[in-house]
Structure 1
Amino acid sequence: MLDQLIVPLSILMDTTPDPTEVKAGPLGFAVWMFMIVAVVVIGFSLVKQLRKAQAAKDAGVYGDEPVTRDDAAETPSTTEER
């Protein structure tokens, strides 16, 4: 019985603003700019870490054979036709 009264009361007290009354404002703009800057910083950090990991792999840190750039250029590609 109580839930039958709550539904009509919630319809009468609908306080949803009109779409023309809602604006993001300067705070919303600042949040978007912060997110863009954060993604750029994370992207640069990712590239830096990937370069460090590749250099460590080339140096043989992960158990691979150490690679010099001359050796890497001389190895045949696996996509070459024979």
Structure 2
Amino acid sequence: MLAQIAPFVVRAADKVPEADDVVAGPWGALMFVLLIAAVVFLCFSFAKQLRKARAARNAGVYGDQPRGPEEPERTDDPTDQGRLTDE
């Protein structure tokens, strides 16, 4: 008896939705907008942290000699041959 009912149960459970029924809807759009907002927020936060780190380095917080913001940084790279870099 179970063998006779099984094909009907499987067919009822394996219904494939129509192409128009599968949409992201308003929740998908909301998640997309929230992800974009999160990326923008993280980019601004990262830029802010870089500015704070640069100011701290210029003030000598990291053990370097304090220097003005206009002074270019000397690199310690031996392949650079003493060239100055602009930030």
Give the TM-score band, short-chain normalised. Answer: 0.5 to 0.7
Equivalent residue, structure 1, for 2:49: 49
By how many angstroms is 1:54 displaced?
Answer: 0.4
1:57-72 correspondence to structure 2 within 5 Å: 57-70=57-70, 72=71
Counterpart of 1:26, as a letter, is P
TM-score, normalised with respect to structure 2 = 0.64
Amino acid at match of 1:57: R
* Match of residue 3 from structure 1: none
Equivalent residue for 1:78? 83
RMSD: 2.7
Give me the whole-angstrom Cα distance separating, in 2, the residues matched to 1:15 and 1:59: 67
Please report the TM-score for the alignment, with normalisation by the length of structure 1.
0.68
List structure 1 runs of 4+ shifted beyond 6 angstroms. none
Please report how far the alpha carbon of residue 59 of structure 1 lies from its aligned counterpart in structure 2 after TM superposition: 0.4
Query: What stretches of structure 2 of length at least 5 have no aligned partner?
Result: 1-5, 75-81
Work out which structure has the larger RCO, using CA pairs closer than 8 Å and 6 or more positions apart in sequence: 2
Unaligned runs of 5+ in 1: 1-7
| More strand per residue | 2
> How many residues are paired up?
71
Deviation at 1:78, TM superposition (A): 1.2
Q: For 1:69 and 1:38, locate their aligned partners in 2 and report how far apart those are by CA, in whole Å.
A: 31
2:35 partner letter: M
The Cα of 1:57 is off from its aligned counterpart by 0.4
The alignment-based identity, stated in percent, is 41
